[in-house]
């Protein structure tokens, strides 16, 4: 058991970042329950955050919206930063100069949780793998809590999480960056993969990898690190040798591996067949493999539990999620595909000829693999957002391309005009949503609404 975090009774806390999702509200809920005084600040106008604002105020938090400066720190002794807040934010820099405690919601949770924690990070596949892992563990009958970067933040539910429960956390590079302040890590840490992403925030692939690697470097000798044996980028950036934990490898040539649609591992006997899995694609079979390798490190988990959990899993929202079939055309929401690699996986996984909606805000990574994949696999392309004109220019004369127009409704309508019965229309953008939408989830919701409006 790790030592518990310090008491927060009487603390005067600033929560920097309310957000549309649960993080800021749940952080305020936790701090107030601990006896802290809480001020929540968000740079966005209240009009876009009304639901979260009302919830935080009902709890007893003070709220401030608009430009953020170090005047927010007056009378404060604790700052809790949202993962969305840039690391170099001037309020955080001022708090450091003043000697205030600066932390994050994940740090507060890891310092206090009593149950064993299994953490999942990587560039893509984190949410699906974490959900698969939680489902496999739940087959044992134990109470499993899933959170972090997927679902609701868990910090305000600490009192409900017993020492005999299990916690699965999806952890982003932004969340892990903050853990260097506390030196804590999950007892079982899993990496799905590593390729360039969020370079607009981290600057370089090396810095991005370093944030991810903290989860393994900060483990203890009795912990377990579950790592891909066949990911050259992860190996190049030192993951295979990071930290003192016992290593479990999965992937090609490893003890835990796939043979077709079968899971193979130590003492597994015959291959465990994933043919009936609801999740499409070879990448999701690999996600199931990674989850299995991690789940089986928990005492009491068997291969039967692993297979039952994998076969029961359903697509998560905005991750190769079938929305509807309209006039013989299947519409699929893969809005979470915000990198070229993840969009390529969708192209391989969808079992129909596809019209693909592509584009958004560039993230500073090379999109050439996506362009070439679209040429090979897409029946046609509808372009979106800021990067749409560049994508169209690079595809010109190689695959049919149309401009999706100013919004998702016009893009879906353009795709519907192109699609034939028996085909699919797939929103798998390969770019960030932040040029037009508050998040990939909002982009996916607009896609769903446009599809359902087709009738």
The rounded radius of gyration (Å) of the Cα atoms in the chain is 22
CA distance 134 to 38: 32
Q: SS3 breakdown of the chain: % helix, strand, coil, rounded to 5?
A: 40, 20, 40
Confidence of residue 437 (pLDDT cuts 50, 70, 90): very high
Give the CATH architecture of domain 321-452: Alpha-Beta Complex (3.90)
Q: Where does 269-339 have alpha helices with state H?
A: 282-295, 303-312
Pinpoint the residues of the chain covered by CATH 3.40.1190.10. Answer: 107-312
Give the CATH architecture of domain 107-312: 3-Layer(aba) Sandwich (3.40)
CA distance 268 to 174: 36
Confidence of residue 269 (pLDDT cuts 50, 70, 90): low
CA distance 174 to 436: 22
Tell me how far CA of residue 62 lies from CA of 13, 29, 74, in angstroms. Answer: 10, 12, 14
> Is domain 12-99 in CATH 3.40.50.720, yes or no?
yes
At 455 the pLDDT is: 78
> Tokens for 398?
């190689």
Q: What is the DSSP string of 125-188?
A: SHHHHHHHHHHHHHTTT--EEEEESSSS--GGGGGG--TTSEEEEE--HHHHHHGGGTT---SE
pLDDT digits 0-9 by tens, 174-192 = 999 999 999 999 999 999 9
Q: Please list, in sequence order, all residues whose beta carbon lies within 8 angstroms of the beta carbon of residue 289, skipping any fewer than 6 positions away.
A: 250, 251, 256, 257, 258, 263
At 438 the pLDDT is: 86
Confidence of residue 241 (pLDDT cuts 50, 70, 90): very high
Pinpoint the residues of the chain covered by CATH 3.90.190.20. Answer: 321-452
Q: Is the pLDDT of residue 321 over 50?
A: yes
């Amino acid at each position: 058991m790790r030592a518990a975090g310090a008491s927060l009774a009487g603390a005067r806390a600033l929560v920097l970042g309310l957000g549309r999702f649960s993080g800021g509200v749940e952080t305020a809920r936790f701090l107030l329950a601990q006896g802290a005084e809480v001020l929540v600040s968000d740079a966005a106008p209240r009009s876009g955050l009304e639901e979260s604002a009302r919830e935080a105020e009902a709890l007893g938090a003070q709220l401030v919206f608009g430009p953020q400066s170090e005047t927010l720190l007056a009378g404060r002794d604790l700052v809790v930063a949202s993962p969305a807040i840039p690391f170099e934010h001037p309020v955080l820099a001022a708090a450091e100069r003043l000697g205030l405690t600066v932390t994050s919601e994940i740090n507060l949770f890891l310092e206090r949780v009593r149950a064993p924690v299994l953490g999942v990070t990587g560039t893509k596949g984190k949410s699906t793998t974490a959900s698969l892992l939680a489902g496999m563990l739940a087959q044992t009958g134990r109470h499993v809590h899933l959170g972090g970067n997927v679902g609701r933040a868990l910090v305000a539910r600490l009192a409900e999480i017993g020492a005999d429960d299990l916690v699965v956390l999806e952890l982003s590079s932004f969340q892990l960056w903050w853990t260097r302040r506390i030196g804590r890590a999950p007892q079982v840490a899993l990496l799905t993969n590593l390729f360039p992403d969020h370079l607009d925030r981290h600057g370089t692939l090396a810095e991005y990898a370093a944030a991810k690697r903290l989860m393994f470097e900060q483990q203890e000798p009795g912990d377990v690190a579950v790592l891909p044996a066949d990911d050259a980028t992860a190996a190049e950036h030192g993951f295979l040798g990071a930290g003192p934990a016992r290593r479990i490898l999965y992937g090609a040539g490893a003890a835990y591996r796939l043979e077709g649609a079968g899971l193979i591992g130590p003492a597994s006997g015959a291959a465990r067949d994933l043919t009936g899995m609801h999740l499409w694609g070879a990448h999701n079979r690999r996600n199931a493999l990674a989850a299995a390798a991690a789940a089986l490190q928990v005492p009491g988990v068997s291969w039967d539990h692993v297979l039952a959990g994998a076969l029961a899993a359903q697509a998560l929202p905005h991750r190769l999620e079938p929305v509807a079939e309209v006039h013989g055309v299947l519409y699929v929401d893969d809005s979470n595909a915000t990198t070229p690699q993840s969009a390529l996986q969708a192209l391989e996984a969808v079992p129909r000829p596809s019209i693909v909606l592509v584009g958004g805000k560039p993230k500073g990574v090379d999109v050439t693999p996506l362009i070439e994949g679209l040429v090979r696999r897409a029946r046609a392309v509808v372009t979106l957002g800021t990067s749409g004109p560049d994508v169209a220019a690079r595809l010109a004369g190689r695959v049919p391309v149309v401009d999706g127009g100013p919004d998702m409704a016009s893009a879906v309508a353009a795709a519907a005009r192109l699609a034939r019965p028996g085909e699919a229309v797939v929103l798998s953008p390969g770019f960030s949503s932040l040029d037009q939408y508050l998040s990939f989830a909002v982009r996916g919701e607009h896609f769903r609404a446009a599809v359902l409006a087709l009738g």
